[in-house]
A and B are shown apart, each in its own frame.
Chain A
Amino acid sequence: MSSIIMRTTARVVVPIILVVAISLLLQGHNLPGGGFIGGVLTAAAFALVYVAYGLDYLEIGVLDRDVDPGAGPFDHRTVALYRRLIVLGLAIAVATGAAGLLFGVPFLTQTFVYVEGVPLYHEIELTSALVFDVGVYCVVVGAILSILSVVGAE
């Protein structure tokens, strides 16, 4: 699979996918998009990297770290990281849901605020739904990537 065409395409396509994924995540609270789609797209970009360069590329090539070649897929450092990402995302999502309870409104209630006078943007909408979406995003990315790397390593 790891042909020169594959690798060259991946180099070009992966950054584009990531940018689209982030933009979908950011606009998801009131336009098409959201945490799930953004997460799936991000995972697709990573999957492309895995297919083109192999599972250890992120560790060796990007982060410049050593990899223990004998370790099973469950002990892989990136896989452990993905699992931590799931927990973090879940915690963020539940916390934003429960935050409403402190203000006396029901669980999962969302709110928003307009911030004026931001340079370049002039006006920007900050929503609590975005924070919830970030939680969902983390869960989706972590879950899909840990499945991919464990199943892929088999």
Chain B
Amino acid sequence: MTLLLAAVVGSLFALGTFLVLRRDVVRVVWGLAILSQAANVYIITMGNVAEGGGDLVPVLAVHGGEVPTTTDPLVQALVLTAIVISFGTTAFALALSYRAYQENESIDVTEWAS
């Protein structure tokens, strides 16, 4: 499971990086969205996906309670916040790319005014 997630996170980062480096502005925005999601998946994996344990769910461990077979709730809260932020950023990026496309009359970012 860990290996699978590592592969998923790796390929998401690779795909995101590839898209961000394209010339087409729409692809760049897609790349940003995928990069943000890659970071989110990565954070989820940081909270232990295999099985619950005191070492791996630090918030529960320090509370002193028994740690049942549960995943770490903290990383999910972090990811929820990160999703909200990347949602807002992506929405803004979409609107901005449309406006920049209108102003520069090209979807090729290398042709835009500097």
Contacts and interface: CB of A to CB of B under 8 A. Distances in A.
Judged by DSSP, the binding face of B is helix
A151 B84 contact: no
Interface string A21-57: 0000000000000001000000000000000000000
Contacts of B30: none
A147 interface: yes
A151 B98 CA distance: 9
B95 A147 contact: yes
B98 A154 contact: yes
Contacts, number: 9
Judged by DSSP, the binding face of A is helix
A36 B95 contact: no
Given A151-B98, A154-B98, A36 B91 contact: no
Interface string B36-55: 00000000000000000000
B96 to A, nearest CB: 11
A140 B19 CA distance: 29
9 contacts: A36-B80, A36-B84, A144-B91, A147-B91, A147-B95, A151-B94, A151-B95, A151-B98, A154-B98
Given A147-B91, A154-B98, 7 more contacts: A36-B80, A36-B84, A144-B91, A147-B95, A151-B94, A151-B95, A151-B98
